[in-house]
């Protein structure tokens, strides 16, 4: 899913991208993928300081940005982490009741920057026409990914550009499905829970 959003963002090698929601598993995947796609800097943004630090330790190009929900404060945090304004942003907030950090992310983009929305926020994004026009921003929604994305993703793995080794996988046998569900509910950052019929 995150790959589809980054493709939709038009991320180019050397650019700076903000991943909002990077303390979650879709967001941390977005950070890994942005690195594989050649981002010059990736700002891992979210609310869980420990999970963000874990993601930021992946690569020197990653900077953590712990957000508070206070828009002006968070814009400063994001632009400091980005060493200026970012080129692209991917928003992966899940079931959020506020879009304050999404708005902070948008306001941290350069003129002509693009924000891709893939999260499931339940609140509107309050942005005026004047602010959109004066900054020449693109805000686009993206559901899942294009048809060719899985093959392209497999190529990134096969070529070694996408390193999956940082992902912490817990495998449960099918008979322990309730335990797997409990573990999945606790997943953060680089955690992954899998269920396999023949798992030990």
Tens of pLDDT, residues 46-94: 999 999 999 999 999 999 999 999 999 999 999 999 999 999 999 998 8
Give me the helix-helix angle, 2-9 and 25-36, nearest 10°: 50
175-186 CB burial, b ≥16 within 10 A, e <16: eeeeebeebbee
- Condensed to tens digits (0 to 9), the pLDDT of residues 184-195 reads 998 888 999 999
| CA–CA gap between residue 187 and residue 200 (Å, rounded) | 21
Residues 39, 61: contact at Cβ < 8 Å?
yes
State which H helix or E strand residue 87 sits in: strand 86-91
Contact (Cβ atoms closer than 8 angstroms) between residue 187 and residue 25: yes
Please give the distance of CA 150 from its chain centroid, rounded to a whole number.
18
Confidence of residue 44 (pLDDT cuts 50, 70, 90): very high
pLDDT at 5: 96
Question: 37: which residues sit within 8 A by CB, 6+ positions away?
Answer: 6, 11, 13, 156
Q: Are 47 and 21 in contact (CB under 8 A)?
A: no
**pLDDT grade, residue 27 (50/70/90)?**
very high
Query: Under CATH, what is the fold of the domain 2-158?
Result: Rossmann fold (3.40.50)
- Three-state DSSP class for residue 184: helix
Reply yes or no on whether the pLDDT at 197 is more than 90.
no
- Residue 200 pLDDT grade (very low, low, confident, very high; cuts 50, 70, 90): low
pTM of this structure: 0.92
Every domain range in the chain assigned CATH 3.40.50.720? 2-158
Query: pLDDT tens digit string along 85-136?
Result: 999 999 998 888 899 999 999 999 999 999 999 988 888 999 999 999 999 9
Q: Give the percent of the chain with pLDDT over 90.
A: 86
Question: Of 16-30, 105-119, 159-173, 186-200, which range is least confident?
Answer: 186-200
Rg (CA), the chain: 17
């Amino acid at each position: 899913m995150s790959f589809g959003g980054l493709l939709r963002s038009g991320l180019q090698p050397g650019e700076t991208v903000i991943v909002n929601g990077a303390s979650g598993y879709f967001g941390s995947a977005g950070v890994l993928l942005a690195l594989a796609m050649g981002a010059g800097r990736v700002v891992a943004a979210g609310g869980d300081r420990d999970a963000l630090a874990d993601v930021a330790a992946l690569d020197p190009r990653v900077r953590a940005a712990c957000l508070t929900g206070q828009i002006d404060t968070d814009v400063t945090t994001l632009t400091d982490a980005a060493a200026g304004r970012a080129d692209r942003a991917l928003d992966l907030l899940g079931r959020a009741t506020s879009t304050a950090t999404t708005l902070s992310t948008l306001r941290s983009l350069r003129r002509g920057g693009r924000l891709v929305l893939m999260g499931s926020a339940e609140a509107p994004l309050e942005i005026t026409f004047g602010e959109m026009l004066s900054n020449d921003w693109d805000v686009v929604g993206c559901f899942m990914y294009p048809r060719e994305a899985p093959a392209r993703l497999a190529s990134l793995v096969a070529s070694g550009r996408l390193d999956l080794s940082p992902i912490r996988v817990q495998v449960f046998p099918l008979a322990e499905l309730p335990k797997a569900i409990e573990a999945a509910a606790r997943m953060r950052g680089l955690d992954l829970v899998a269920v396999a019929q023949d798992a030990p």
